[in-house]
Structure 1
Amino acid sequence: MKWQEKVVEASHDVSLRPTRPADLEFEMQLDVECFGFSLSKAQEYNQRIKNEKGQDRYVIEKNGKAAGKVRVAAAAGEAWIYGFAVTPAEQGKGIGRSVLNSLISLEQSKGHSLFLEVETQNAHALKLYESCGFTSYNIQDYYRLSL
């Protein structure tokens, strides 16, 4: 999905801070709870992405308490949002909208076009992204290989 020009509003009770080594357990737990990873897959995935260049990894905090995570990779005038997750207990409270609005403002100030990927079956996330100004521009069908 690609963000189209739309007025955004920031929230003052939600913030982003760079991840720290102590956040790894929290990040892996979000991958398990929000993306259906096994714990071993979450460990492998987080080990791999923490060494990737050209990206910023954030913990989302609401009123100073960890509530989610997001990763932003930027290059060639584009910024891509990945691994955006809010803890199940905090979903539906406006945290995702606030984070998206903050990221839109941040990346727009850098002159970046903003993109994200989302599972087409995730109606809740699609509704949020569309309400924040993202539109579908490329849809891919993914499938699992059964052996």
Structure 2
Amino acid sequence: MTQRFVARLWRDIRGVSAIEFALVAPVVFILVLGTLEMALDMIVDASVQIAAQQASRIGLTTANPASGTRADQAQTVVNNVLGRWRSIGGTVTITTLNYGSYNNVGSTNYQANMGNFGDVVSYNIAVTIPGFSGIPQLFGVKSMTFQRNYIVQNEK
């Protein structure tokens, strides 16, 4: 009797699709979330690129704006572009280093300002955010940093 029961159970195909779904669904779910995570990370990376380009353009001109300073104006532009990432727990860092000339780039010979006409200035913009989906945390990544550095020579 038990041999017939086991043989009949072995041939029974009812519920196979439910078992297959239970085995495959977690993998597919993680792949979909991972794809969304990558897409959102690429959006963050592109916005950091845009913010760094706009900040370096403001500093590049060396012309003082009608109100405030160039540094204030650059800060406002960066905040407009990257402010949404602060709302999800991200931090935005802006560093401006005036090296004076290209020969000093990378050395400790700099001032923390936007420089004057002819100065070589490095604009460093970074955004550190936690993951969107929780997938990075599964792999031990607590936060991600997206960074852009622009080195320009100021003009009039």
Is the TM-score greater than 0.5?
A: no
Structure whose alpha-carbon radius of gyration is higher:
2
More strand, by proportion: 1
More helix, by proportion: 2
Q: Could you tell me the TM-score, scaled by structure 1's length?
A: 0.25
Compare relative contact order (CA 8 Å, sep 6+) and give the higher one, 1 or 2.
1
